[in-house]
Amino acid sequence: MRRNSRSALLAAALVAALAAGPLAVPAFAASAAPVSGAPSSSAPSSVRATTGPDAEALAAALAGLPDQDATAAQIRVGGDGRWLGTAGVRDLRTGAPALENGRFRAGSVTKVVTASIVLQLAAEGRIDLDGTVQQYLPGLLTEDFDPITVRQLLNYTSGLRPGASLGDTVEAGYPHRFETLTPRQVVAASVARGPAYAPGTRQSYGNIHYTVLGMLIEKVTGDAYAHQAAVRVFRPLGMRHTSFPDGADPRIHGPHNRGYDRIDGTLVDVTDWNMSDRWAAGDMISTTADLERLLVGLFRGRVVPQPQLKEMFTLPDVPRARYAAALERMELNGKVIWGKTGSRPGYAAAIAATRDLSRTVVYAVNATNAKDDGLPIAQRFGFPAFNR
């Protein structure tokens, strides 16, 4: 009884917020079915577990959804033991339960795919990681830039400044959500600002490095980036539900949980949004099952040959480096974890694992402040996977 009352209060609070803005929805009650082995007060709408992960902490992360932080979440833990959980709602208008394997915008997890393609091309001898942007994409950079290597693009030490954007915040971008910026426009704006620092001397995470890498992939292969991703990564790994939008298409095709974000204090449906300006840096749509295939296949050397794969687990020799080629290194509970987070309005995602794959986690969260600091979302939905 208390749990039902709590759900009703959460629903009422969300509905009140929605009714104040452009989207109003009827009241709903979030489903939370009791699960064997987990207290009913903390059980997500669907959970399947075996031995291994800290199931109690993972279930607690999903408890009470939807709430002020997220409307839905999917968590998939693997390695030594397995745990799957889903909670929240698919649509605030109807209150339908969240989909267990719904599609979502994976944001910067896309960079893992981009880095994989570049490293495959390096293994084939078609790209030299010590070759330069000036060599492969002549005329893209001005004479103000020192030579920038492919490796420096991969590990975010290129010195390029951020490129053009249709809005650096959800609030700023929302009025422009159906507009388009081409990769060349994005890069041209970066180049016009000149270098931020000498290549290879600092690490500065950003989309611009991977936008240039996308252009490099197309130049070297003579093919579209999205097609190269499909034939080199998605199809070989059986990622049947992963794709890129067709140009400026703002929709997520196939079953998905809708995304909501706060704009000027009001919760707004932001599911439909043209993300083409993020392209090879953050335009991918996927599922947790597919991203688990990517994570496991990558770490096992099935995506990138072992000699080149080491680039994804080697930090550059610069102060306070956290990123290798695409992947970020962190330590949790004495474990070294490698992974990548991503966010787009209404959606936050992550893949992470120990190097030996003894523990893996993939999550997709319909976060109501996805473009803010992603650490609270990671702490709540990802970190518990590494408790033990």
pLDDT reading at 12 higher than 60: no
Looking at the DSSP bridge assignments, the partners of residue 343 are: 348
| pLDDT attached to residue 50 | 54
Please indicate whether residue 111 or residue 265 has the higher confidence score (pLDDT). 111
| pLDDT attached to residue 86 | 98
| pLDDT attached to residue 370 | 80
Query: Which domains does the chain show, CATH number per domain?
Result: 105-386 (3.40.710.10)
CA dist., res. 77 & res. 213, Å (int): 31
pLDDT reading at 17 higher than 70: no
* Per-residue pLDDT tens digits for 273-308: 999 999 999 999 999 999 999 999 999 999 999 999
| pLDDT attached to residue 373 | 76
CA dist., res. 35 & res. 192, Å (int): 57
- Show the beta-strand stretches assigned E in 203-334: 260-263, 266-269, 284-286, 328-332
User: Looking at residues 27-32, what average pLDDT do you find?
Assistant: 31
User: What's the pLDDT band for 52 if we cut at 50, 70, 90?
Assistant: confident
Residues with a catalytic annotation lie at: 108
Tell me what the pLDDT averaged over the chain comes to: 89
Please write down the long-range contacts of 268-272, taking CB distance under 8 Å and 24 or more positions apart.
268/21, 268/22, 268/23, 268/174, 269/23, 269/92, 269/346, 270/170, 270/174, 270/177, 270/345, 270/346, 271/346, 272/177
pLDDT reading at 372 higher than 90: no
Residue with tokens 């936008």: 211
* Per-residue pLDDT tens digits for 116-165: 999 999 999 999 999 999 999 999 999 999 999 999 999 999 999 999 99
Contact between 371 and 343 under an 8 Å Cβ cutoff? The reply is: yes
**Interior CA angle at 22 toward 17 and 27, to 5°?**
45
* 238 contacts: CB under 8 Å, gap ≥ 6: 293
Residue with tokens 């893992």: 112
Candidate from 108-117, 339-348, 364-373 with smallest mean pLDDT: 364-373
**Residue 195 falls in which region: left (phi positive, over 0), alpha (psi -120 to 50) or beta:** beta
* Per-residue pLDDT tens digits for 72-102: 999 999 999 999 999 999 999 999 999 999 9
Q: Angle 183-192/208-221 helices, nearest 10 degrees?
A: 130
* Per-residue pLDDT tens digits for 166-208: 988 999 999 999 999 999 999 999 999 999 999 999 999 999 9
| pLDDT attached to residue 44 | 62
DSSP secondary structure letters along 285-310: EE-HHHHHHHHHHHHTTSSS-HHHHG
Q: Angle 110-123/208-221 helices, nearest 10 degrees?
A: 40
% the chain with pLDDT above 90: 83
Please indicate whether residue 301 or residue 19 has the higher confidence score (pLDDT). 301
